[in-house]
Structure 1
């Protein structure tokens, strides 16, 4: 009995993904839990594991091919005999069957017609890119299965122009030609890089060009929080409870409470769809070997400080160990900490499609004056809030940041 290997859904807005690399080839024996391929969306990469023992009898999705979420990318058969047969004598039949299935699954609404009446088949991503760059699909030659137009075909048109046998409207003014060159360059972002570094380059660039990012800076006094934290640590030690309550844990709790008061900041905007989320799923930017990942603490607004601390330690460790899973998806807001690097202020880049990201800087001691004018040292944390000005006005972002600071400066509210 064949088990289908499906394209997983890595995020709220993901509609399709791409197979970056197959670790197994057709005919290879696999065991349940074996990593068989690496897939990527616009935001994340993930290793796909086999869900059954058997043989990888068919690879349906080729490298760099766009596949809809829950679409079949491969087949695993439990029978060794069937596996060997499928990997040898029945390959051509299987390919033909797959082509027929692909054609049957494309609806009339998903196709267009060329001037001669021939139907046009295009992947959703190819159609979206064509619309974005004002390319008429009837003038693009598809190189995918059954002549289907893929992302690669759109990239080819933008980079090298159309095939000699097909005509298309081209830029006529110097300004338009310059835009065409820029657009072609856009699609080569990450060229020359590999693996996670390439994905990060593409995501960061997309974030910068698809949003209107603005960053606000201010500091929060942590004198009260520092005393509260010390007392809490003492109580935990007396109770023989080993829970590391870092300043980042307090910030996570403060951010969760502030997001509930400012739901417009707990939102995502992608493909013309704006959503304010009821649940707060907090992404924690985490440095890993050769890159960055954003594991997620789900429903953080409903968790205590101790549970947040435990979950934060768990998801960041999984990220550093390269583990895959649902903990990497679904964030609605992100925090990133460069405090341990000695950085005070910086401009975090949005983890699109999220509306906001909060950067934590290195703790500093500054001279302040008390009510009597006497100087004293005050512990402060620099905060950098980047937000999408398309969605949030400066005053709204400032109000959210004010609430975060208020909770940090009144730590008793964090345990209520």
Structure 2
């Protein structure tokens, strides 16, 4: 029974996708629910699995081809296909191997050739190189079959400074040296940009070109958070089924409280309207091998620290494996990005449109600070808030960032909402 393999149904925000990788070949045995192809969209990589036991009979869309929602991309033959296709594949491989073995001498340019004067046997490529460098073929030791001289033999003879024909000009060695390749690896590789990377580039350029983006900075003493974390992390992990207490939970809670106090930071611009959101869906940027993705914590204002930490960890693991759904990365009213995990001390994050602001975390660095007239070594972190100046004035942006700073330096205020 033949079954049509179709692309998944794409959400409205995704127009099309492209075939990323075929994991199975026509005739290869496939088990039910086994991955057969990856389809890359602007936001995520979607997996298509086998509908039953059987094998692919025909691939209609090759890797790199663009596909639409529910478009037929292959044909699948239901039923056992293991032994028959394996035997066929083995015989094909043997035939291919034999053909490759038979054609190797001709392909490598080492087919023997004999001169009328009884010269040593040379391949055409070797003869050409010998003629170009005025080399006596009889003086070159041959390593090929039956003593044939190969192109590599001539090249090695040149490198070793071997004797040439008596008529060879004295400038020939210098000429040979001039054509040698420079030392070192100068290889280049050209690969097509992935759809996700292209989409990221488009959105970053759009944010830079269509918004009045400005960044304000502040610094926060991470000592109180670190002390609280060190005191309760073991008890926290035991009480919440192994969920670890990290820093991101505190930042999400502080941001949610600050967004409640400054609704304009949680708003967005839609043409000539300002849309104020009565909820705080906070996106957390996650780095993957294919690019940056931003899964969203829905209603972050009502989430506890344990829920935030476990959800972020789950997002991180699924983002690494390409398992995030499109619905988990759409929406969002505010974003937090943490360049500190890679060692960044200070940066200016770019807006995640259509949001009006983004908070950048950085590396915790011990520095001497003046505290009540005394110099103390404190764990400090720079905070950066990039915002759209069309919607937010500097006063609101700075007050928002200072609020986050105050909440983090006195974590009890997060619970007391003061």
TM-score, normalized by length of structure 2? Answer: 0.59
Name the CA shift for 1:30/1:277 in 2 (closer, same or farther; >3 Å). farther
Deviations for 1:264-310, whole angstroms, at most 9, x for unmatched residues? Answer: 22233456664322222222212211422222222221111111111
Q: Which residue is equivalent to 1:276? A: 276
Q: Distance in 2 between matches of 1:46 and 1:273?
A: 34
Following the alignment from structure 1 to structure 2, what is the Cα–Cα distance between the partners of residues 414 and 225? 12
Which residue number corresponds to residue 215 of structure 2? 215
Q: Which residue of 2 aligns with 1:90?
A: none
Partner residue, 1:8? 10
**Which residues of structure 2 form unaligned runs of 5+?**
80-190
Q: CA 1:238–1:205 in 2, change beyond 3 Å: closer, same or farther?
A: closer
Please report how far the alpha carbon of residue 210 of structure 1 lies from its aligned counterpart in structure 2 after TM superposition.
2.3
Distance change (3 Å), C-alpha of 1:239 and 1:383: same
Q: Which moved more, 1:261-270 or 1:302-311?
A: 261-270
Structure 1 residues 53 and 202: CA distance shift in structure 2, 3 A: farther
Q: TM-score, normalised by structure 1?
A: 0.60
1:401 aligns with 2:368: no
Q: Tell me how far 1:219 sits from its aligned partner.
A: 0.6
Where does the alignment leave 5 or more consecutive residues of structure 1 unmatched?
A: 82-190
Aligned to 1:292: 292
| Alpha-carbon spacing, 1:240–1:277, altered in 2? closer, same or farther (3 Å) | closer
How far apart, CA to CA, are the structure 1 residues paired with 2:33 and 2:238? Answer: 45
- Work out which of the two has the higher radius of gyration on C-alpha atoms and give 1 or 2: 2
Q: Assess, with a 3 A threshold, how the Cα gap between structure 1 residues 324 and 74 changes in structure 2: closer, same or farther.
A: farther
After superposition, the C-alpha distances for 1:221-271 in whole angstroms (9 at most, x for unaligned) are 223222222222253367696332122221111112212222222233456
Alignment partner, residue 45 of structure 2: 46
Where 1:314 maps in the other structure, the secondary structure is: helix
In the alignment, the residues of structure 2 paired with residue 226 and residue 6 of structure 1 have an alpha-carbon distance, to the nearest angstrom, of 46
Give me the whole-angstrom Cα distance separating, in 2, the residues matched to 1:269 and 1:367. 42
2:376 aligns with 376
Separation of aligned partners in 1, 2:57 and 2:356: 41
SS in 2 for 1:17: coil
* 2:311 is aligned with 1:304: no
Asked if the contact 1:286–1:316 (Cα under 8 Å) also holds between the matched residues in 2, the reply is: yes
SS of 2:335 mapped into structure 1: strand
Give 1:304-343 correspondences, 5 Å limit.
Answer: 304-325=304-325, 326-343=327-344
1:385 is displaced (CA, Å) by 0.7
In the TM superposition, what is the alpha-carbon distance from 1:361 to its structure 2 partner?
Answer: 1.1
| 1:17 corresponding residue in structure 2 | 15
Q: What is the match of residue 385 of structure 1? A: 385
Answer yes or no: is the 8 Å Cα contact 2:40–2:195 preserved in 1.
no
Paired residues in the alignment total 298
Partner SS for 1:397? helix
Q: What is the alpha-carbon distance in structure 1 between the residues aligned to residue 284 and residue 311 of structure 2?
A: 11
Secondary structure of 1:386's counterpart equals strand
For the residue of structure 2 that corresponds to 1:391, the secondary structure is coil
Q: Distance in 1 between matches of 2:259 and 2:338?
A: 18
Tell me the CA shift for residue 204 of structure 1. 1.9
Tell whether the 8 Å contact from 1:30 to 1:50 is kept in structure 2 after alignment: no
Q: Secondary structure at the match of 1:376?
A: strand
> Which secondary structure state, in structure 1, belongs to the residue aligned with residue 15 of structure 2?
strand
- Structure 1 residue 312 displacement after superposition: 0.9
Q: CA deviation at 1:17?
A: 1.6
Aligned-partner Cα distance in 2 for 1:77–1:275: 47
Structure-2 change in CA distance of 1:352 and 1:59 (3 Å)? farther
Does the 8 Å contact 1:223/1:378 carry over to 2?
yes
Distance in 2, matches of 1:16 and 1:240, equals 37
- Which residue is 1:354 aligned to? 355
Q: Contact conserved, 1:285 with 1:336, CA < 8 A, in 2?
A: yes
- Alpha-carbon contact 2:57-2:77 (below 8 Å) kept: no
Q: After superposition, what is the alpha-carbon deviation per residue over 1:37-58, rounded to whole angstroms, capped at 9, x for unaligned? A: 52534xx233154696699999
- Give how far 1:2 is off: 8.8
Residue 351 of structure 2 aligns to a residue whose secondary structure is coil
Spell out, residue by residue over 1:347-390, the C-alpha distance to the aligned partner (whole angstroms, 9 max, x if none).
1111222221111111123333333x222223222101111222
Deviations 1:170-203 (A, max 9, x none): xxxxxxxxxxxxxxxxxxxxx9523433332222
Distance change >3 Å, CA 240–CA 360, structure 1 → 2: closer
Please state how far the C-alpha of 1:35 moved relative to its aligned partner.
6.2
